[in-house]
Amino acid sequence: MKRIPRNLIQHLEWKPQDGAFPTPPTSPAPQPAQTLLSIDNLINHGRSFYNTDTDSDGKAIGVTQSLKQAMEHGTVASLPYLIAGKAQAATENYLWQSWFSASEEHVGIDKEGRFGTAGKPVVVVVHGFRLLTPDRIMQAYADGLTPQGAAKLTETEFGHLLEGKLPSDESIQLYTVDQAKDNLRDPFGNYAVIVDFELAKAQNGYATKDKFLKNPLVLARSGVNIALSTYFDKAKNTDGKVGNHHRLAEIDPQQPQGRVLFVYDNYNGLIGNNNLYINGRFVGVAPEARVARK
Amino acid sequence: MATEKMSDPTELRKQFIETLYGTLEGVISPTPYLEIVEGDKVDVTFLDGRGRLPRPKATEITVLDIDIASLFFDNFNILYEGVTGVGKTYTSDALFDTIFGSDGHYTVRLTGGILGSSVLEPFTVSALEHGIPKTRIDQTKCKRYGALFIDEINRGDTQEVFQVVDGVIRVNGDTGRLGVPIQGTDRYKKLVIIAAMNPADAQHSGALELDLAGENRFLKFRFPNGVGEAASSQLDKKMRGSLHDKFWTEFEKRTGISGGWREHYPAITDPQQFAQTLDGQTREFMDVALGYVGYDPKETCTRNAELMTQGGVTSQLAVRVDNDYKKIIETQGTLKHGFVRRDLEKISNTARLLSFIKGIKDGTYDTAVRLNDVAAGIGIVLESKTVQGSGYGALMTLVNAARKAYHELREGLNVPEEYGVRQAIAQAAINAGTEHGFAAYVNTLQRSVAQMNTPASTAAQAAIKSRVLADLVVLDHFSKAHETDVTSALREKDGALDALAEVYSKKKAKGSVYEHRLDFLR
């Protein structure tokens, strides 16, 4: 086969930042070990960036600086990636020694009924690519947060998100939970999972394993992670429960809004109820650590 | 006169051809056969003797162009089908006389029957042995002629015709090899054969269809009747004096090379001088277009969808049964025989011939075969397989539709010129795989499949896209089936392309579908 100069066909290459794409399954569902971002690299080479900067009013804005530093370092570990890492890592590993900032979660109205009834609110969990970039979070601070401490998004921003478009002009694939179960090719890549607002709102706080693993918001936040069961077993408290927290019952979904998600180092589990004025601890995985399965 | 002997093969070829045209200018009236218009879209039109006003990007190809170009190819021969009196014999005779002189070529008219003439006649001698007449091969005659014109070839003994065409004859236990030695080599320049036949229709009730095996040995062209068009201008076109002497004298003047045709013609026309490999784009077009123009596109889509399903992908491509579809099937119904393996070779050969002619016409003498040459080649080969009296040029419409659909597919993916879509995607996958591993390799393939697997608006798009998609799904399957080997190949970095080709070469025997569908990996 005659060699084609790479620059002529680079646009056809799939890259880790391209994330998942919609395609009928052509092979058995991928195992974490098959993904481009290997769990071993996260465990052994991932680096956390803790930041406690404050603004002139003394409010914590470390989440922006931490995110910026992690992005500069390499790929920012998403919540599904961290969960898979925690499932595999020993409890002595850094992944179990602290909490981490990770993916982002947005709420707004699906005006056109792209994913259900038109006019109904939905929750969109975004992994990988970011709508809440450091600059956008700073802008959110300037605009004023929602009463529950989330960034106010514009109607256009949220509308574009539902169309799979990000302000950076990058596109992102949206899945329902069921679609993600069937079609997700790279659980640690860039994609979004959408959940009906009412369904997501229904369960809050600590849950038994059975309920936790079936909770649609947990599944969206974890990227329908097959390591979720192992993670649960490692994180659970003495009552056999792990938390999944949100403030969906308190918010006004008519105001499009977004916040950063966190994962705790214990049974507190998945956190989606923090104010955006907060310290940050994102994990970055350096490019040289991105290796394929061995 | 040239002061030094010219030795550059391309320049010699150029001078040889230019001298030929110059010599024959006053002898043969051009009979337009085909016009190829190129650009973003290709348009190939059979002219049937009626030339068009020259226009930009258009190349008119005449019968003489085909005859001259055919001298440079040893792996096929030309067969003209046309009514009596349109100039089939005259054109070839004038050309052969010019190059070989009256003694260097032979015309045999086959008449059929037990006492009929034999195509072996120019190469044999009859003598009495023990009082019994016996035919023997004359080895001297086997090397005497540069060209043979076989008229009414469909009336001859098929087996004898095949022997002559294949270049080795056997008579009464003797074997003779036809051709002229190429000086300085141990090879032979093959005997050039141009054959002719009347159409086997009601007006020519004595004529027979040449059987399939016979037609497969020739590139068949319908000889256009240009008489009505050329009219009185043809009256002045006559063979005057010795064209042969005039030609070789002029050639010597231009090149400084003297001597007879036996010394120079075999080397100048030796096809080994010029490479004519088909690029990836061109080869791929052959693969994908035939599923639309040569076969029922609906069946093509169904077959490709089956393969995709086996690979876990549901095809979104379908052909609607509407008037357009019915017209396609009706047009294909004019084909006498289905496509056979040799047709692919004929398409390739026709494309080579056309590219050679275009190189002459534009003065570049470039012999590279391009996509439009293959498009025209498919059309010509299809037309040669039609039943007499069927719509002339209708199949070419299908080829043009295929060309358009293929162009759109390439444009949508921004695939660079010269390379096939499958080739580009496979290499992009390899590049992604060398950097990010096997999963990125597979993701690249699968994302391309996902991008292309969308409903098509025409039957041509559906058939062509389905072939590309199915082949990529087969590659995906092959790669997963041999993941360890493919992963090792990807680790070769710069050598990954060759390493993957090696994996394919070693493993393709695991399934015939791999061999049929993944040849582009070679």
Q: Is the pLDDT of residue B3 over 60?
A: no
CA separation for the pair B172, A46 (Å, rounded): 84
Chain A residue whose CA is closest to B487: A294
Chain A residue whose CA is closest to B472: A26
| CA within 13 Å, CB half, B220 | 27
Q: Are strands B43-46 and B32-37 parallel, antiparallel or unpaired?
A: antiparallel
CA separation for the pair B379, B398 (Å, rounded): 8
CB contact under 8 A, A13 and B444: yes
Q: Is the pLDDT of residue A294 over 50?
A: no
CB contact under 8 A, B314 and A290: no
Q: Is the pLDDT of residue A35 over 50?
A: no
* Beta-carbon contacts of residue A66 (< 8 Å; ≥ 6 apart): A49, A50, A51, A101, A279, A280, A281, A282
CA separation for the pair A53, A68 (Å, rounded): 12
| A 17-46 residues inside an 8 A Cβ radius of B | 18, 21-27, 30, 34-36
Q: Is A214 on the interface with B (CB under 8 A)?
A: no
Nearest CA-CA partner of A231 in A204, A266, A196 = A266
| CA within 13 Å, CB half, B485 | 17
Is the model more confident about B314 or about B6? Answer: B314
Instruction: Name the residue among A1, A27, A292 with its Cβ closest to that of B312.
Output: A27
Paired tokens of B302: 């169904």
Q: Is A229 on the interface with B (CB under 8 A)?
A: no
- Maximum distance among all Cα pairs of chain A, rounded to whole angstroms: 64
Instruction: Indicate the pLDDT class of residue B221, thresholds 50, 70 and 90.
Output: confident
Nearest CA-CA partner of B119 in B214, B225, B20, B220 = B214
* 3-state SS class at A241: strand
Q: What does the DSSP 8-state code read for residue A3?
A: P
Is the model more confident about B440 or about A169? Answer: B440
Q: Is the pLDDT of residue A33 over 50?
A: no
Q: Select the highest-mean-pLDDT range: B1-15, B310-324, B366-380, B419-433.
A: B419-433
Structural element, H or E, at residue A69: helix A62-73
How many beta-carbon pairs under 8 angstroms link A with B? 115
Residues from chain A that touch B424, judged by Cβ atoms under 8 A, are 4, 8-9, 12
- The distance from CA B6 to its chain's CA centroid, rounded to whole angstroms, is 31
- The mean of the pLDDT values for chain B is 84
Least confident interval from A43-57, B138-152, B375-389: B375-389
Place of tokens 């009495």: B128
Burial class (CB in 10 A: 0-12, 13-18, 19+), A71: middle
Q: What is the pLDDT of residue A164?
A: 86
Name the region of A77 (left: φ>0; alpha: ψ -120 to 50; beta: rest). beta
CB contact under 8 A, A16 and B501: no
Q: What is the pLDDT of residue B144?
A: 94
State how far residue B314 is from chain A, nearest Cα, in angstroms: 7
Q: Is A3 on the interface with B (CB under 8 A)?
A: yes
CB contact under 8 A, B280 and A13: no
State how far residue B476 is from chain A, nearest Cα, in angstroms: 8
Q: Is position A17 within any domain? A: no
Q: How many helices (H) and strands (E) would you count in chain A? A: 11, 12
Q: Is position A3 within any domain? A: no
Q: Under a CB-based contact definition with an 8 Å cutoff, are residues B155 and B196 in contact?
A: no
Q: Which of B409, B422, B436 to mutate to test the interface with A (most CBs of A within 10 A)?
A: B436
Number of separate domains in chain A = 1
Q: Is A196 on the interface with B (CB under 8 A)?
A: no
Q: Indicate if the alpha-carbon torsion angle B169, B174, B180, B184 is positive or negative.
A: positive
Kindly provide the b/e burial profile for residues B288-324, where b requires at least 16 CB atoms within 10 angstroms of the residue's own CB.
Answer: bbbbbbbbbbbebbebbbebbeebbbebbbebeeeee
Q: Is position A21 within any domain? A: no
Chain A residue whose CA is closest to B481: A27
Rounded to a whole number of angstroms, the distance between the first and last alpha carbons of chain B is 49
Q: Are strands B77-81 and B192-197 parallel, antiparallel or unpaired?
A: parallel
Q: Is A142 on the interface with B (CB under 8 A)?
A: no
pTM: 0.61
Q: Is position A12 within any domain? A: no
Paired tokens of B241: 């004096």
* Beta-carbon contacts of residue B207 (< 8 Å; ≥ 6 apart): B152, B154, B155, B197, B198, B199, B200, B201
CA separation for the pair B213, B222 (Å, rounded): 18
Paired tokens of A151: 């960034």
Q: Tell me the average pLDDT across B452-473.
A: 93
Chain A residue whose CA is closest to B278: A2
* Beta-carbon contacts of residue B255 (< 8 Å; ≥ 6 apart): B2, B5, B6, B12, B15
CA separation for the pair A171, B233 (Å, rounded): 67
Q: Is position A25 within any domain? A: no
CA separation for the pair A74, B234 (Å, rounded): 78
In angstroms, what is the C-alpha Rg of chain B? 26
CB contact under 8 A, B437 and A291: yes
CB contact under 8 A, B522 and A1: yes
Chain B residue whose CA is closest to A13: B428
CB contact under 8 A, B428 and A292: no
Q: What is the pLDDT of residue B396?
A: 79
State how far residue A134 is from chain B, nearest Cα, in angstroms: 27
Q: Is the pLDDT of residue A55 over 70?
A: yes
Paired tokens of B508: 């393709």
> Partners of A176 in the beta sheet?
A194
CA separation for the pair B41, B407 (Å, rounded): 8
Q: What does the DSSP 8-state code read for residue B277?
A: P
Instruction: Indicate the pLDDT class of residue B202, thresholds 50, 70 and 90.
Output: very low
CA separation for the pair A87, A39 (Å, rounded): 10
Q: Under a CB-based contact definition with an 8 Å cutoff, are residues A24 and A183 in contact?
A: yes
Instruction: Indicate the pLDDT class of residue B41, thresholds 50, 70 and 90.
Output: low
Residues from chain B that touch A13, judged by Cβ atoms under 8 A, are 428-429, 431-432, 440, 444
Instruction: Name the residue among B413, B433, B521 with its Cβ closest to that of A1.
Output: B521
For B334-353, the pLDDT digits (tens) are 776 666 667 788 888 889 99
For B233-260, the pLDDT digits (tens) are 444 445 556 889 999 999 999 999 988 8
Q: Under a CB-based contact definition with an 8 Å cutoff, are residues B250 and B73 in contact?
A: no
Q: How many CB atoms within 10 Å of residue B375?
A: 30
Nearest CA-CA partner of B70 in B51, B91, B53, B85 = B91
CA separation for the pair A193, A216 (Å, rounded): 10
- The structural domains of chain B, ordered by start, are 9-273 (3.40.50), 280-336+386-521 (no CATH)
Q: Is position A153 within any domain? A: yes
State how far residue A39 is from chain B, nearest Cα, in angstroms: 14
Q: Is position A294 within any domain? A: no
Q: Under a CB-based contact definition with an 8 Å cutoff, are residues B42 and B372 in contact?
A: yes
State how far residue B444 is from chain A, nearest Cα, in angstroms: 5
Q: Is A13 on the interface with B (CB under 8 A)?
A: yes
Q: What is the pLDDT of residue B338?
A: 67
Give, to the nearest 10 degrees, the angle between helix B438-452 and helix B421-436: 150
Q: Is position A152 within any domain? A: yes
Chain B residue whose CA is closest to A21: B447
* 3-state SS class at A194: strand
Instruction: Indicate the pLDDT class of residue A144, thresholds 50, 70 and 90.
Output: very high
Amino acid (1-letter code) at residue B112? G
Please state the length of chain A.
Answer: 294
Instruction: Name the residue among B314, B431, B443 with its Cβ closest to that of A185.
Output: B443
* Beta-carbon contacts of residue A178 (< 8 Å; ≥ 6 apart): none
CB contact under 8 A, A185 and B429: no
Q: Output the CA–CA distances (angstroms, integers) from residue B99 to B102, B242, B260, in the order listed.
A: 9, 11, 9
Domain of A162, in residue numbers: 34-289
Q: Indicate if the alpha-carbon torsion angle B267, B270, B272, B276 is positive or negative.
A: positive
Q: Is A249 on the interface with B (CB under 8 A)?
A: no
Q: Are strands A191-196 and A174-176 parallel, antiparallel or unpaired?
A: parallel
Q: Is the pLDDT of residue A56 over 90?
A: no
For B137-180, the pLDDT digits (tens) are 999 999 999 999 998 888 878 788 889 998 999 998 889 999 99
Q: What is the pLDDT of residue B232?
A: 47
Chain A residue whose CA is closest to B452: A23
